[in-house]
Every structure is written in C-alpha cells, then in structure tokens.
Amino acid sequence: MFDIERWQEIFETLRKNKLRTFLTGLSVASGIFILVILLGFSKGIQNGVTSQFERDASNLISIWPGVTTKEYKGLNPGRYIQFKNNDFNTISRKYNDEIEHESAFYTIWGGLVNYKNESGSYRIQGVLPGNQFIENADIGQGRFLNYSDVEDAKKVAVIGNRVKKDLFKDEDPINKDISVYGISYKVVGVFFDPGGERDESKVFLPLTSAQRAFNGADEIRNMMFTLKMSDDYNKAALESAAISEAILTDLKQKHIVDPDDTSAIRVNNTMEEAKKIYSLISTISAVFWFVGIGTIIAGVVGVGNIMLIIVKERTKEIGIRKALGAQPMSIVGMILQESVFVTMFSGLFGLILGLGLLEIVGPLIESDFIQYPQVDFNTAITTVFILVFAGALAGFFPAYRAAQIKPIIALRDE
Amino acid sequence: MIEIKDLHKSYHMGSNTLHVLKGINFNVKEGELVSIMGSSGSGKSTLLNILGMLDEADTGDYTLDGFAIKNLNEKIAANYRNKFLGFIFQSFNLINYKSALDNVAMPLYYQGMKRKERVEKAAHYLEKVGLADWSHHLPNEMSGGQKQRVAIARALASEPKVLLADEPTGALDTKTSYEVMDLIQGINEEGKTILIVTHEPDIAQMTKRIVNLKDGLIINDTKVEQVRAISNV
Ligand SMILES: Nc1ncnc2c1ncn2[C@@H]1O[C@H](COP(=O)(O)OP(=O)(O)OP(=O)(O)O)[C@@H](O)[C@H]1O
Ligand SMILES: [Mg+2]
C-alpha cells in the first residue's frame, strides 16, 4: 500500500488519463454533493417542522368557560359560567408542583389602538408574565410584562411585531404611548411569534390593568397552564390527562356544574395533538431516511458501474501488463488503489463542497419550514466510505477476473 | 533453451472443437534465430503464444531454460514471463497513455527496479532502436515502424533469454521491415535466442532457420543461409 513506486505509477496513470479520472471523480463528487445537500435540507425541513410545531407540541392545558346544559342541584341549564381571579389562583396554588407556566386572560377581541395618526384594531389581552412562554413569544425589543406590572396594574403594553409595523413603521416604539380606547399605555416591549402575523397582531397588557380599564373587575376569560414536560411521552400524556381531569372536577364543583356536563367548562389539553406532531416529525424523518438510503444505493450502483466500465476498458492494458510479467495481485492492487484514491478524494471533495454550501446557504434561507439545514458529519463521512467501498468492491471482481485469465485472452479484448 | 514435445492445442467454440496444434516437436538452442512460417490459420501465433506463456497447451511438454512450464500458477508464470521472455506483438500492444520511454520501462517496473534505474535503462534501449529523440512521445504520435521499435525496445529492456516476435514486420512497409530485421539480427548476434513468426519469405531468409507449419504440424525445419537485412535497406 505504501509502496512509493506503486503510488508513482498510479498518479501517472491518473494524470495521463485525465478525462477518465475527471469523470469518475466528478460523478462520485457530485453524488456525494447531492446526497449531502439532500440530507442537509431534509434535516432543515425536519428542524423547521419541529420548531413550527414544537410550541403546539408542548403540554398546554387551556380552560374555557361555557354554558351549562344540565340541571344540577336546583340550578337551571343555560347558565353562563364566569371565571374569576380566584378560580385561577386556586388552581395555580393547588397544582403548583406540576405547573411550569401559567396565565389567566382577559381579552378584548377587536380593540382600537392608536399611535399618533395611525390606528388599527387588534386583540387586546390582559395576561400574566407566564404568557410569554405559553405563547412562545420572542422578545424582539424591550421586555415582556413582569409581576410588578401586574401587581401595580401599570399602564404598560407589549405589542406584537405586526402592531409595531402598522403603527410605528420604522420608529422605535419603546417608551412611546399608545392609546387603547383612549387610555394610554407605555410600550415596554415588542414580541415576535413563530405562529406568524396573526399571533403578532396582539397587544398584551398586565391582567390587572386590562381588568381595571375595561370594567372587568376580577373576571377572567380563560386560563392556560403548561406542565413540566417529562421526557417520556406516555408518562407525560397520562400525567397531563390526570391533571386536566382533576382541574375540571375542581372547577365544576366550585361552579356547581353537573360532573357529566361537558359544555359548561371545557378543558383542552394539547397532549393528543402533540402525539400527532410527534408522529408527523417521525414520519418526515423516516421519509428522508428512505430518500437518503435510496440516494446512497443509487450512488453505489453508479460508482459500481463506473468501476466496472473502467476495468472493462482496461482489460487490454491488463493483458499487456501481464504479458510483461505483472503479478495478478499487483494488477488488482493497482486498480483498487486507484479507484479508492479517486473515489475517496472526490468523495471528500464533494462532501466539503456540500457542507460548505449548506454552511453558506443555510442561514440565508428565509422559510419557516426549512431551518438550519445541516448534515451530521459522521453520517456524511460514512456515506463517503460506503461509496468508496462499493467502488472498490465493484472494481475488485472484474479486476480480479481480468488478472486471472490468460494474458492472450485479455490482449484480444478490443 | 526451448524444448517442446508432442504439443497439442484445441479451441472450443460451442460444440465445435478446432484442433490447431496436433503434436509439435521442436527444440531451439540458445542463440538461435528461428522463423516460423506457414499459411494463415496454420497455428503459428498459437504456438508462439504458448511459448510466450501467454496461452497454455492442452497436452505436451514445454521446457524453457530447464524449467518445466506446466500448470504454473499465475504468480510463477508472471515471474517467468518477466525474467525469461520478451514478446513482440504484431499489433505492438503499447500502452497508449504512456510515453515511449515509460512503455519501455514497464517490464522493469515489474522487476521491481527503482524509477531512476528504470528510466536510464529504458532510455538506453530506446537509443538502441534509434528512438532516443522520441522517448517522450505517445504511441499514437508515432509511425508503425517506430511503434514496433518501441515494442522491441520494451521486449529487450527486461533482458529476457528468449525473444518471441509475432509478425513484427507484418504492419510495416518493406524498408521499415528490413530496418526492424536489422535490429533483430543485431540483438541475435549479442546472443539472444529469437523466434519470429512471419509469412514473408524474405524476412524468413534473414533468420538462421526456418520452421514450416501446416495444419498444426511441422512439415519442414531447415537451416538457411542468413541474408543481412542491412544490405537490403
Ligand atoms: N481464441 C480462439 N478461439 C477460437 N479459434 C481460434 C482462436 N485463436 C485462433 N483460433 C483459430 O486457430 C487457428 C490458428 O490460429 P493462429 O492465430 O495460430 O493462426 P496463424 O498461423 O497465426 O495465422 P495468421 O498467419 O493469419 O496469423 C485459426 O483457424 C484460428 O481461427
Ligand atoms: Mg498469427
């Protein structure tokens, strides 16, 4: 293998057969290149889809009031249930150990918001600090609401990026006053939401400020909790279902609702949806594995073919070398060494090119569904080795055969 | 140097069998210059290929320089080809992507000679065949006669005991043929044993002995008065 003379002979052969070397190298390099790009983008799509649905996949319990449909303890059906701060606080305290983030909501669906001459209608929500995590809101500027804002019912607001674009254009909104139905709030932050435009068309106020401003007293519209996620999906699902059920029972009891009344209070827990998303993600990754393996197989067949053709083409040369006294194994070795060298070199070249392109183009992609296209380096290297091995194997058999037959037969080959 | 006894060779094509060599008996001593003649299809090339260990006989004995050539594995056969035999083909069989010099150096590579030595020796033999100025040309940049001389230089470079040439002048015009024959005569005078297949009588006259093949048998084997090739050039 490390025979310098042999290497000289091989380099000379490669140099003197530039076209063949180039074409072999090109097909191997482009094969690997395409594979890397493909794997990279499939990973990117996986990342994108995962992050798109990640928040929906979290263990979120939402509780909404409704209208009773059953008579219970002398109370007529058709009664509206109204949550109060107290309901939220009770649950918050009781399930403190299991709850990760929490928020109660007081919502004005289409609230008129003004800044100077600009105005628009947005959803106004009184929330608690925990909503930042429940909504998965990314703070782009400033900060989110904090507990002292809520405690003191400060007149501050955090606005969605859409709101900022509409009302402030290029102006910096921080510390400017917007007015909501004539009441001024100081903007303390701007948030982005992976959910997109619709979720960025909101204005968050401290819950207490919103209640006070819009005559809400201590009423709340609904509440949301996220549970601490456990690694095991099944365990998380069971726990989530149990807590949802327990909260429901507590609230029904408190509001004197028939335990069988399903529309008076509704609890929605996202664990079932999470399951769909988990399976979506795993389906996507299975599809791309399939595509990747398919590409590798195609590459193996391609490289194998090239090697077969090369050896076929060189049969006469093999005959000449044999007539001049070449040992069969030295011929096989020469051909293998050559093919391994070319496929390895060009494979790595294609690999670096592919990785480089992903590195450069990856961050430029502005799609929510493709994020951080990247390839696991080990996977890529393994692929190169598989192709090199396949090429060597495909070259070995015809080379071995050509080296074993009588020289006269090899020489007769045209 | 070469002893063959009752050599048989058949080709099988499907259900047909073509008996080409039907019991050849024939000896060549060291330093001889022998031509093998015969009509087309008489089995000359077949015989020479067997002598050159490029092909194998079906039955019969072949002894080369005291070694029995029979059922050798490819490794040993390769060794013998490399050490004992130089082969000159009618169709040259040069490696077309290698320069004249590298072609001549090829057998030396398989003798395990170092590059520097190989190049020196190959250059020496190229000079000997009059192609010192052509050493860096590729075969397809050369004429038939030049290519054949490269092939001769290659056959000589490994300093074989026996030189086998299958119609070395077959593809060449008369003048070039004589030049090649002059070269071969010179080499023979240095003591090399040489066998030439030809069906040109004038070429055969330039050897020292003519063996006539017909239908797979030697029908005639006579010593001749050698004609100097140079006198015809
Ligand atoms: N590989 C082969 N397969 C089948 N038949 C063959 C093969 N090689 C040679 N023959 C046949 O064997 C016979 C002898 O062939 P050979 O090449 O030895 O003839 P030759 O005397 O060299 O003829 P020429 O003067 O035309 O070169 C011919 O009839 C030929 O058709
Ligand atoms: Mg012939």
Lowest mean pLDDT among A143-157, A188-202, B112-126: A188-202
User: What values do phi and psi take at B139, rounded to 5?
Assistant: -50, -40
Per-residue pLDDT at A411 = 84
Per-residue pLDDT at B101 = 94
Residue in A closest to B92 by C-alpha: A320
Per-residue pLDDT at A2 = 59
- Residue among A405, A403, A398 nearest A326 (CA): A403
Per-residue pLDDT at A57 = 55
Per-residue pLDDT at A173 = 92
Whether B50 is in the pocket of ligand 1, judged by its Cβ within 6 Å, is: no
CA dist B78 and A328 (Å) reads 8
Helix (H, G, I), strand (E, B) or coil at B233: coil
- On chain B, the residues whose CB falls within 8 A of the CB of A414 are none
Whether B216 is in the pocket of ligand 1, judged by its Cβ within 6 Å, is: no
- On chain A, the residues whose CB falls within 8 A of the CB of B89 are 411
Residue A203 near residue A113, CB atoms below 8 Å: yes
User: Between A146 and A229, where is the model more confident?
Assistant: A146
Mean pLDDT of all residues in B133-144: 92
Distances (CA, A) of A62 to A52, A248, B215: 20, 11, 102
Is the pLDDT at A32 greater than 70? The verdict is yes
- Residue among B32, B24, B36 nearest B61 (CA): B24
Residues with CB under 5 A from ligand 2 (ion): B 45
A250, A269, A288 — which closes off a domain? A269
Cross-chain CB nearest to A406 (options B54, B87, B97): B54
Per-residue pLDDT at A230 = 60
Strand partners, B162: B85, B193
What number of helices (H) and strands (E) belong to chain B? 7, 10
Per-residue pLDDT at A91 = 92
Is the pLDDT at A313 greater than 80? The verdict is yes
Lowest mean pLDDT among A143-157, A233-247, A357-371, B14-28: A357-371
- On chain A, the residues whose CB falls within 8 A of the CB of B98 are 12, 16
Q: Which domain holds residue B104?
A: 2-232
Whether B49 is in the pocket of ligand 1, judged by its Cβ within 6 Å, is: no
- On chain B, the residues whose CB falls within 8 A of the CB of A330 are 110
A183 CB-near residues (< 8 Å, 6+ apart): A155, A213
Is the pLDDT at A60 greater than 90? The verdict is no
CA dist B222 and B38 (Å) reads 14
Lowest mean pLDDT among A3-17, A127-141, B58-72: A3-17
Tokens of A247: 């909260």
Q: Which domain holds residue A343?
A: 4-52+277-412
Per-residue pLDDT at A302 = 82
- Residue among A383, A298, A297 nearest A36 (CA): A383
Helix (H, G, I), strand (E, B) or coil at A255: coil
Task: Test A323 with B102 for CB contact under 8 angstroms.
Answer: no
Per-residue pLDDT at A235 = 75
Asked if B110 has any chain A CB less than 8 Å from its own CB, the reply is yes
A230 CB-near residues (< 8 Å, 6+ apart): A236, A239
List, in sequence order, the alpha helices (H) in chain B: 44-51, 74-84, 100-110, 115-128, 144-157, 174-189, 201-205
pLDDT confidence band for A404 (50 / 70 / 90) = confident
Are residues A122 and A263 both part of a single domain? yes
Task: Test A327 with B81 for CB contact under 8 angstroms.
Answer: no
Is the pLDDT at B195 greater than 90? The verdict is yes
pLDDT confidence band for A174 (50 / 70 / 90) = very high
The mean of the pLDDT values for chain B is: 89
User: Between A112 and A299, where is the model more confident?
Assistant: A112
Lowest mean pLDDT among A184-193, A389-398, B19-28, B210-219: A389-398
Most confident of A353-367, B169-183, B194-208: B194-208
Interface residue of A11, A320, A324, A413 to substitute, partner B, most B CBs within 10 Å: A324
Per-residue pLDDT at B175 = 84
Lowest mean pLDDT among A206-220, A367-381, A394-408: A367-381
Are residues A43 and A127 both part of a single domain? no
Count of other CB atoms within 10 angstroms of residue A329: 13
Spacing, Cα A325 to ligand 2 middle (Å) = 22
Spacing, Cα A118 to ligand 2 middle (Å) = 100
Write out residues 47-106 of B within 8 Å (CB-CB) of A.
49, 52, 54-56, 74-75, 78-79, 81-83, 87, 89, 93-95, 97-98, 102, 106
The mean of the pLDDT values for chain A is: 85
> Position of tokens 């992903």?
A358
Task: Test B97 with A322 for CB contact under 8 angstroms.
Answer: no
Tokens of B6: 């009752």
The amino acid at residue B188 is N
Mean pLDDT of all residues in A222-232: 78
Beta-strand relationship, B67-68 and B59-64:
antiparallel
Is the pLDDT at B233 greater than 70? The verdict is no
Q: What is the dihedral of CA B144, B81, A316, B152, to 10 degrees?
A: -10
Task: Test A16 with B115 for CB contact under 8 angstroms.
Answer: no
Mean pLDDT of all residues in A219-239: 79
Asked if A325 has any chain B CB less than 8 Å from its own CB, the reply is yes
CATH at residue B155:
3.40.50.300
Are residues A36 and A69 both part of a single domain? no
Residue closest via CA to ligand 1's atom 31 equals B41
User: Between A128 and B90, where is the model more confident?
Assistant: A128
Tokens of A83: 């949550």
Are residues A141 and A283 both part of a single domain? no
Is the pLDDT at A229 greater than 70? The verdict is no
Per-residue pLDDT at A125 = 93
E strands, A150-273, are 156-160, 177-180, 183-192, 202-206, 219-220, 222-227, 265-269
**Could you report the per-residue pLDDT of A94-136, keeping only the tens digit for each?**
999 888 899 999 998 888 899 988 899 999 999 999 998 888 7
Mean pLDDT of all residues in A149-163: 93
CA dist B168 and B179 (Å) reads 11
Q: Note the Cα B100 to chain centre separation in Å.
A: 18
Residue A144 parent element (H or E): none
Taking the CA of residue B232 and the nearest CA in chain A, the distance in Å comes to 32
Residue A4 parent element (H or E): helix A4-16
Are residues A218 and A306 both part of a single domain? no
Tally of structural domains, chain A = 2
Beta-strand relationship, A265-269 and B209-214:
unpaired
Is the pLDDT at A168 greater than 80? The verdict is yes
pLDDT confidence band for A56 (50 / 70 / 90) = low
CA dist A27 and A298 (Å) reads 12
User: Between B153 and A52, where is the model more confident?
Assistant: B153
A269, A285, A303 — which closes off a domain? A269
Per-residue pLDDT at A135 = 83
- % of residues, chain B, pLDDT over 70: 99
User: What values do phi and psi take at A188, rounded to 5?
Assistant: -110, -10
Are residues A187 and A210 both part of a single domain? yes
Spacing, Cα B20 to ligand 2 middle (Å) = 12
Shortest-distance atom of ligand 1 to CA B13: 4
Is the pLDDT at B226 greater than 90? The verdict is no
A156 CB-near residues (< 8 Å, 6+ apart): A145, A149, A185, A186, A187, A188, A205, A206, A209
Is the pLDDT at A312 greater than 70? The verdict is yes
Per-residue pLDDT at A238 = 82
ipTM of the complex: 0.90
Are residues A255 and A389 both part of a single domain? no
Q: What is the dihedral of CA B150, B151, B157, B159, to 10 degrees?
A: -150
User: Between A352 and A395, where is the model more confident?
Assistant: A352
Lowest mean pLDDT among A56-65, A80-89, A168-177: A56-65
Tally of structural domains, chain B = 1
- % of residues, chain A, pLDDT over 90: 27
A244, A269, A294 — which closes off a domain? A269
Per-residue pLDDT at A382 = 87
